[in-house]
Structure 1
């Protein structure tokens, strides 16, 4: 049965990858996953926001990709050692820190694809999602263990969000596609609402017509990351993908919206 997360909106779905930071915004210091980046992606026409979450020292779930502050703020400390207040102060001139609770509350009509980035964040993030809007969130993670922990916490707190395959689940899907086994495909896709994959992983071609057929036959959407060229976006949509995850919301909207 189609999850409410996918019940509305046009296709192909355009996901603003960590929001949207234009060249001019980057020159002004705006960081990915910031309040300004999320607002900019929505302003540019993104249908959904792809973001990531980490847990601060005082237990607040924040939208942040890396486990340390090094790449974003030039600070080697781990997020888990910094309080929400201090992190908010550090992000004040970088577009503004967003907690997960703020994101779901301040952007009430927006659907979020939230990736669990650490072991400690999965349960508190899941509980927030379950309480504040499971119909508006797709939970993902490279780790299927963290993804399932977040889903369990969400379900206990109020409802099951949509979910996309982690690394292990994706490998099972690819193996089942390669073996052309309907029973293996049924098992591999069970419990999934989306498959979020790159076109290639190193030398291995991940996306294929057979994978698309198998996913769609089982009501699972296929979203491709991270695509930043308009020509490739159009080619992927012609192939049949359901969504494009992109750093360039502006290009995606120009290329894919009539």
Structure 2
């Protein structure tokens, strides 16, 4: 049975990477993973928003990619060392802080793709996601972290869709390369989507063979992070089901939304 996360729209899915920050809004001070960036993606017509989460010093799960604040705010502290109130002040003129709970509550028509970036955030993020599990795809580079969040979500209300971590992804690639159909089925069991880069350094990750194997097992393929319109069209022609992009406005136009 297809998870409800996928029922909100048809393929190709355009996932707004950390919301939507256009060159114009960036010039006005808006940053990624801010309340304004999520609102801008929603206003542009995005159904899916890809984001990340960390835990503040006082235990709030916030949408934020980096483990420290230096790139986004110029503050060198680790995110885990600042409180929600301090982060609100820092993000105040950058589009505004948005917590995971606020995102799920304030944008009831959006589907969120949440990447858990820190071990400390896994359980509390899962507990927040549980009541909204039909609207969330949960992932992490760490399969252990992902499983912790999935278990917490199930206990608090429901099971979100999921994309595998690095370890499971490596096993999937090896199984597809070996042409071992039973092993491919086993690795893909319990997985709703593969979310991958087109390549890792010089090594190709995405292949037509992988896309076909995923589709045979009822699994979608989403590629990150794709900003060039030429690349978007090429990957859609290859058969991928979704594009994670910083320019959701451009992607939506190409997808014919």
Question: Does TM, scored on the shorter chain, surpass 0.5?
Answer: yes
For residue 253 of structure 1, report the CA deviation from its aligned partner: 1.6
State the partner residue of 2:141: 142
For residue 47 of structure 1, report the CA deviation from its aligned partner: 2.1
Listed as ranges, the matches of 1:1-258 within 5 Å are: 1-131=1-131, 133-257=132-256
For residue 255 of structure 1, report the CA deviation from its aligned partner: 1.4
Moved over 4 A (4+): none
- CA distance in structure 2 between the aligned counterparts of 1:148 and 1:237, rounded to whole angstroms: 30
Structure 2 alignment gaps of length 5 or more: none
- CA distance in structure 1 between the aligned counterparts of 2:71 and 2:144, rounded to whole angstroms: 26
Please, what is the CA RMSD of the aligned residues?
Answer: 0.9
Deviation string, structure 1 residues 87-139 (Cα, Å, up to 9, x no partner): 111101000000000000000111000000001000000010003x1000000
- CA distance in structure 2 between the aligned counterparts of 1:23 and 1:73, rounded to whole angstroms: 18
- CA distance in structure 1 between the aligned counterparts of 2:148 and 2:214, rounded to whole angstroms: 24
SS in 1 for 2:206: coil
TM-score by length of 1: 0.98
Deviation string, structure 1 residues 27-77 (Cα, Å, up to 9, x no partner): 111110000001111112222000000000110000001111111111111
- CA distance in structure 2 between the aligned counterparts of 1:198 and 1:11, rounded to whole angstroms: 18
TM-score by length of 2: 0.98
Matched length = 257
For residue 8 of structure 1, report the CA deviation from its aligned partner: 2.8
Structure 1 alignment gaps of length 5 or more: none
- CA distance in structure 1 between the aligned counterparts of 2:165 and 2:29, rounded to whole angstroms: 32
